[in-house]
Amino acid sequence: MLNAVAKDLFFVLITVLFFVIAWAYVRGCDRL
């Protein structure tokens, strides 16, 4: 079982991860 802090960190990380992917998507769309 993950504790609350680890879960908080997990959800913050997956949020940031999405936006990192979205920025890569911006760069990809620019080159496409």
Partner 1 sequence: MTSMGLLQILLFFLIILALTKPVGAFMARLFEGERTFLHPVVRPLERLVYKICSVDETAEQHWTHYAGSLLAFSLAGILLTYLILRIQGMLPFNPQGFLGKLWTPDLAFNTAVSFGTNTNWQVYTPEATASYFAQMVGLAVHNFTSAAAGIATAIAVVRGFSRRSADSIGNFWVDLTRATLYLLIPLSLVAALVLVSQGCIQNFRAYDKVATLEGGAQTIAQGPTASQEAIKMLGTNGGGFFNANSAHPFENPTPFSNFLQVLFIFVIPAGLTYTFGKMVKDTRQGWALFAAMSIVFFAGVFVVYPAEQSGNPNLTKLGVEDAATATQAGGNMEGKEVRFGIPASALFAVVTTDASCGAVNSMHDSFTPLGGMVPMVNIQLGEVIFGGVGAGLYGMLMYAILAVFIAGLMVGRTPEYLGKKIEQKEVKMAMLAMLILAASILLFAAGGIVVHLSKNAWINPPGAAAILTNNGPHGLSEMLYAYSSATGNNGSAFGGFSGNTPFFNTTMGYAMLIGRFLMMIPLLAAAGSLARKKMVPVSAGTFPTHGALFVGWLVGVILIVGALTFFPALCLGPIVEHFLMNGGKLFSFLIPGVWS
Residues forming the site for partner 1 (CB under 8 A): 1-2, 4, 7-8, 10-12, 14-16, 18-19, 22-23, 25-27, 29-30, 32
Token pair listed for 20: 């990192």
CB of 19 to partner 1, least distance (A): 5
Nearest 5°: the CA angle 10, 29, 19 is 15
CB of 10 to partner 1, least distance (A): 7
Positive or negative CA dihedral for 12, 17, 23, 26?
negative
CB of 28 to partner 1, least distance (A): 9
Q: Give me the residue label for tokens 């504790």.
A: 3
